Structure 1
Amino acid sequence: MNIAQDTPTAADSAPVTYEDLPKVSLHDHLDGGLRPETLIEIAAEIGHELPATDADELAVWFHESADSGSLVRYLETFDHTIAVMQRAEDLERVAREFVEDLAEDGVVYGEIRWAPEQHLTQGLSLDEAVDAVQRGIEAGVEAAALAGRTIRAGQILCAMRHTERGTEIAELALRHRGQGVVGFDIAGPEDGFPPSRFAEAFELLAREHFPVTVHAGEAAGLDSIEDALFTGRALRLGHGVRIAEDIEVSFEGEDEDGAPRAIADLGPLASWVRDRQIPLEVCPSSNLQTGALATLADSAAEAHEPESHPIDMLVQLGFAVTVSPDNRLMGDITLSDEFELLADVFDYEAEDFLELTLTAARAAFLPLEDRDALEDHIRSEYARLGLVDL
């Protein structure tokens, strides 16, 4: 997976790979990024039956189940991952390995989202669950450092949309503010469970000046995005790709290469999101898997073709686009793989990946000084790799 076959690194003259690029992952689910081997080992300990007990076969099962085109079926795969994440030691292990895997993929800053309310069946309290994950994150950061890699990671706590614990999870996030928790989200079934159900939680978080991102514009459309922005006070949109439904594209004349010239007319919501540079946490492969693009495509088949994804249009129109893997186990994908997909489909090059990564760094739930330092680190790494000039 060479990003530039003829571009050597300064250190060893080896070709630069996608894994070499410093990355920022903003939308990455803890219960969607387990190692198959870990799943099998913990499941055997607790007596949970899995669809397969061979690591390769299990990985294939997750990918095929998730690649159904249905968000509902996609979410069903989490029954197995959540089942093995109920004990403190298991949460800690999964979080540690999660961070190690991010670091190995070149991620230098990651926000790890998960729903503590789903991990209480073995007697853990919400706070104990958060503490266990934080211990794992810190152990993963240390392990990465020993392996010569640098990474920083924070937790985003999710309230499940179909339950009634939003305010409780918001209060949990505030209790752990400054102790590893950097943001709040609502996750789970999007269609039929709007952000307005959690108005009290969002009001509390707004009063406390706590960062919020909201899953919106994936399984549900423009109403979901609008509710996330104006009820949820979302600083970022989880996925958000269906903002493209508020963009009308027509063709007029030809460009200098003789191709039809596209004219984009942004509706009021799309203009609001773009003009205020509200970051979109786009997960290209996941969007293709879950059928999130069905309303944007001319056919069901086209909705699963990478070329149908609106990410390049959104980038070209000046939206604040970031790229994340969503669920690495279900998608059989890494952030490096997502970059390679963009290169293959849209001819993205190093400069494009740098801009996507800098946009993600600017959108991180970090203090301004830390975001600036993260941007500087990313630029310096690209320069060290010989991909850009400082």
Structure 2
Amino acid sequence: MIDLHLHFDGSLLPRTVLELADEQGIRLPAREPDELKLFLTAPADCKSLNEYLEKFDLPLLVLQTKEAIRKGMYTLASSLKEQGMLYAEIRFAPQLHTKKGLTQDQVVKAAILGLQEALAGSFFKAKLILCCMRGTDNLEENLLTVRTAAAYLGRGVAAVDLAGAEALYPTEDYEEVFALARELSVPFTIHAGEADGAESVWAALRMGACRIGHGVRAGEDAKLLAELRKRHIPLEMCPSSNVQTKAVPSLSEHPVLQYLRQGLAVTVNTDNMTVSDTTIDREFRLLQEELGMTQEERKALLLNAADAAFLTGEERWRLKDVIQKVC
């Protein structure tokens, strides 16, 4: 399995959040993992992306020290390894972990350390994507995130991203951020076509995004679908999450397989394992049970993910070789 769209703070296990809180003397609204899960998981009838994003508050509360970030990343990567994953790209916004005085550089160093410790001696590999954030008055923080990504590119960090409340903060407003990414040769993906429509995806393409986070609403514009297909731009689709955030009305109406059958470079991902109460295995199982995904389509989705991953040529070859042998 491969997961290219996986948020660090949205995928911490409840027991990890409890452990980190206990170590820091932070009070939480529940003391048992099953009870705390209610505060970390978005309801199936979530009203919008904005309500969904509220579930990140508690994990971020306990991820404000170097040791907590290191340990949190270590336990998440270890969990992915235990699931039998081949490869993952774990994304997070360093600027959201500076509330207690850490610099973005310190945050990223701690995350890389935790990741390296979890991956030692393992076939499973993972890299980090640093998220810039939609919002107001945080341009300098976003520019610093890009510079930090450039400093650690190839040393644990693979790319940058733009995340947050898409409908409130249009993608086109972040041209300066991604102009810097282009200048520093930092690859980037952008959350687009989730809470906002096709124009958000067009804006991401104009800025040079080599992948699109979600892109579920690209089908609102036939010309956009044709452009995505022509340029072979990968879509990081997250079925369960897209239903929760109301990007699509229901799983049965999710266009993931429709896009795949139309020749788009579709990939399947979790988005947030805890917030959406899912795993990559569950996402594929849902596509098979609810949408009739065939074994050949499963293989195509995995090969698309290998092609889309921020990997070197040799790393990509190794990944695709495993997929060809087991699928």
Q: CA RMSD in A?
A: 1.5
1:241 corresponds to 2:219: no
Q: Does the CA contact (< 8 Å) of 1:59 and 1:332 recur in 2?
A: no
1:228 aligns with one of 194, 198, 204: 204
Q: Could you list the per-position Cα deviations for residues 97-136 of structure 1 after superposition, in whole angstroms to 9, with x for gaps in the alignment?
A: 1111112222211111000000012221111110000011
C-alpha distance in structure 2 between counterparts of 1:352 and 1:314, whole Å: 11
Number of residues of Structure 1 aligned to a counterpart in Structure 2: 324
Q: Is the 8 A contact 2:146 2:186 kept in 1?
A: no
> Which has the larger strand fraction?
1
Structure 2 unmatched runs, 5+: none
Q: Report percent identity of matched pairs.
A: 40
TM-score (norm 1): 0.80
Is the aligned partner of 1:137 residue 2:100? Answer: no
Q: Does 1:79 align with 2:24?
A: no
Tell me, which stretches of 5 or more residues in structure 1 are unaligned?
A: 1-22, 247-266, 294-302, 383-390
Instruction: Give the C-alpha shift of residue 91 in structure 1.
Output: 0.4
- Report the AA paired with residue 87 of structure 1: T
Give the corresponding residue for 2:125. 152
Q: Cα deviations across residues 67-106 of structure 1 (Å, max 9, x unaligned)?
A: 5131111101111010110111110111111111112222
Counterpart Cα distance in 2 of 1:376 and 1:90: 36
Tell me the equivalent position of 1:306: 251
1:68 corresponds to which letter in structure 2? C
- Per the TM alignment, residue 329 of structure 1 is displaced from its structure 2 partner at its CA by 0.5
- Within the candidate set 240, 246, 266, 1:285 is matched to 240
Cα deviation for residue 66 of structure 1 reads: 6.7
Partner Cα separation in structure 2 for residue 96 and residue 371 of structure 1: 24
Question: Which residue number corresponds to residue 265 of structure 2?
Answer: 320
Q: CA deviation at 1:374?
A: 1.4
CA distance in 2 between counterparts of 1:328 and 1:351 reads 25
Q: What is the Cα deviation at residue 49 of structure 1?
A: 3.3
Asked if structure 1 preserves the Cα contact closer than 8 Å seen for 2:194 and 2:217, the reply is yes
- Partner residue, 2:194: 218
The alpha carbon displacement at 1:312 in A equals 1.6
Give the secondary-structure state (helix, strand or coil) at the position aligned to 1:329.
Answer: coil
- Asked if structure 1 preserves the Cα contact closer than 8 Å seen for 2:42 and 2:52, the reply is no
- Report the counterpart of residue 203 of structure 1 in structure 2: 179
Letter in 2 for 1:182: A
Task: Name which one, 1 or 2, has greater alpha-carbon Rg.
Answer: 1
Q: Which residue in the other structure is 2:276 paired with?
A: 331
Residues 1:28 and 2:6 aligned together: yes
1:300 maps to none
Is the contact between residue 42 and residue 55 of structure 2 (CA under 8 Å) also seen in structure 1? no
SS in 2 for 1:26: strand
Which residue among 8, 26, 36 is the counterpart of 1:48? 26
SS at match of 1:113: strand
Q: Distance in 1 between matches of 2:142 and 2:16?
A: 30
